[in-house]
Structure 1
Amino acid sequence: MLNVHNLSVSFGGEYLFEEISFRLNGGDRVGLIGKNGAGKSTLLKLLTKDMPLDTGTIAMEKGIRIGFLRQDIDFEQGRTVLEESYQAFEEIKDLESQLEHINHQLAERTDYESEGYNQLMIDLGDITHRYEIIGGYNYQGETEKILLG
């Protein structure tokens, strides 16, 4: 759950928004639209703690992810748009790295009955399950579909 209460932001004494409150529950997906200068990017920066609050509170359950494409992106030289888009999936990329590491360890071991080998198998199952839940097997195809329009 994400809970925003009495959030106010001002620049030079002028309020961009004043005393806004809202709640998002688990599983909610939200799009933020508005005219230029309405405060969309500012609100997202506040929610991601990239900008300090003037007043109000933002409470977030552990594990909540807020994803958005920043207006001021520093693209790495030589990356394609598709490669840059994949960078939004940091958690999936981290899990892929962990899975690769565990699979490499399992391939080199021969102590199949040991506690260490058993723990690696348990870790592999847990990480694979998390990877599936957050869309690890689908993110590349979904990203390509979005970029194609």
Structure 2
Amino acid sequence: MLRRTYDGQICSVARTLEVVGERWTLLIVRDALLGVTRFDGFLGRLSIARNVLSDRLSGLVEHGVLERVQYQDRPPRHEYRLTNRGRELTTVILSLREWGDRHLAGEAGPPQLSEHADCGGRITTRVVCERCAEQVPPGRVVTRPAQG
């Protein structure tokens, strides 16, 4: 993926960028979350070179974000399905979309809405304290060194 540009950093954000930080990778994950599974499906939605798409898909498989599953024998064809690890990126994609909708959507408004499949309510991401269950605004988050 990013060819180890963050070697000296002991940081989970840097480690995560090694997996999903290259151009196109999060858009591939976004499309997988929207139900795209086949190479041609990704190719059709993204203006991406075939070799770049192949490289990104291979990297996502290597890191356990997607799994490659054969769906046809002759000729052999595969699709790419999100793993549990990949589905956990839903919150990341939703947070990025929310930020973009708030700051970059323009006059036309957001191009997509995220809704709860069961009731149709709008989905939003929140930072919540696991101890007191209070929603924590960005200015009230502090970071400190951990054991790891």
Question: One fold, TM greater than 0.5?
Answer: no
**Bigger RCO of structures 1 and 2 (CA < 8 A, at least 6 apart):** 1
> Higher strand share goes to which structure?
1
Q: TM-score, normalised by structure 1?
A: 0.24
> Whose Rg is larger?
1
